[in-house]
Amino acid sequence: MDFVAGAIGGVCGVAVGYPLDTVKVRIQTEPKYTGIWHCVRDTYLRERVRGFYRGLSLPVCSVSLVSSLSFGTYRHCLTHICRLRYGSADAKPARADITLSGFTSGLVRVFLTSPTEVAKVRLQTQTQQRRRSSASWPSAAPPVCPAAPARPVPGPKYRGPLHCLATVAREEGLRGLYKGSSALLFREGHSFATYFLSYSILSEWLTPAGHSQPDVLGVLMAGGCAGVLAWAVATPMDVIKSRLQADGQGQQRYRGLLHCVVTSVREEGPRVLFKGLTLNCCRAFPVNMVVFVTYEAALRLSRGLLK
């Protein structure tokens, strides 16, 4: 049931947080934005509400599988560790056991999330990329009669998530679909270790005396805070991941993970690694409140039905 409950929770979470995720990706990949509100205002003026939901269909379709895999792997790994170390799957795990299980679940996610992250980032940033390439055309000389026909404005390169994946695979090969996966491995591993460990500790603190589980308010608070802490440690690698994945449009700037880190820090200073941190944390709180309360509700409902 952990796989099913994780899938339901993940879908609810992505529905809540996607607009802010679009803003976060654009802030991280576009140096022109001076802050969150500048990006929000520019996106709305140019693309209206639809601009905040670019590339949404693929995450909605895939997030249920990815979230199911995350929660299911975490629980499965924790059960096996408890059985091996304590002789019973129902034994109370140590914090090291929870950390290792969370780390494992984060690593397993990467094989599924990398292609969808590439498509999401490309779709979220292609408007900026197209505008940038248009601005780089050399200006024409003063017109003489008869006037030369105007150069047509290029349309979007990617028509949707599946078309984006097919185009990347055709132009860049399998490596293109896993571009930025090294940064994604660093991001997911330690962030999910932090995620599940902090949720476990906070749930324990927020459990009323005489009860074995926290109430709904406790789950909401523990889930929201766990999401914030996870994104706080994940943001530096998230910035690098977004830049590597957006780099396939136009001229390629970065040769790899280390080159991207060095170039970004040299050009924009160490603060670049924390671009989008405030937005990540603001988005993480409501999203993970919804994820965990849905996950726990689905688990408790299934246990009630199976009794």
Tens digits of residue pLDDT in 177-209? 888 888 889 889 999 999 999 999 999 999 988
Domain extent listing, the chain: 2-128+159-306
Predicted TM-score (pTM) above 0.85: no
Residue 258: enclosing H or E segment and its boundaries? helix 257-268
Q: If we measure between CA atoms, which residue out of 7, 9, 1, 10 comes closest to residue 295?
A: 9
Select from 153, 154, 157, 168 the least CA-distant residue to 54.
157
Other beta carbons within 10 angstroms of residue 260's beta carbon come to 21
Find the distance separating the first CA and the last CA of the chain, reported in whole Å. 14
Q: Give the confidence band of 291 by pLDDT, cuts at 50, 70, 90.
A: confident
Distance CA 203, CA 100 (A): 18
pLDDT tens per residue across span 208-244? 888 888 888 999 999 999 999 999 999 999 889 888 8
DSSP per residue, 153-216:
PP--S-SSHHHHHHHHHHHHHHHHHTTTHHHHHHHHHHHHHHHHHHHHHHHHHHSPTT-SS--H
Write down the mean pLDDT value for the chain: 81
How far is the C-alpha of 104 from the C-alpha of 16, rounded, in Å? 26
Q: Given this model, what pLDDT does residue 232 score?
A: 92
pLDDT tens column, 14-23: 767 778 778 8
3-class secondary-structure state, position 249: coil
Which CATH number is correct for 2-128+159-306, 1.10.8.420, 1.50.40.10, 1.10.645.10, 3.40.630.30?
1.50.40.10
Q: pLDDT tens, 241-288?
A: 888 887 765 567 888 889 999 999 999 999 999 988 888 888 889 888
Q: Which residue type occupies 169?
A: A
The C-alpha torsion from 108 through 289 and 80 to 86, rounded to 10°, is 140
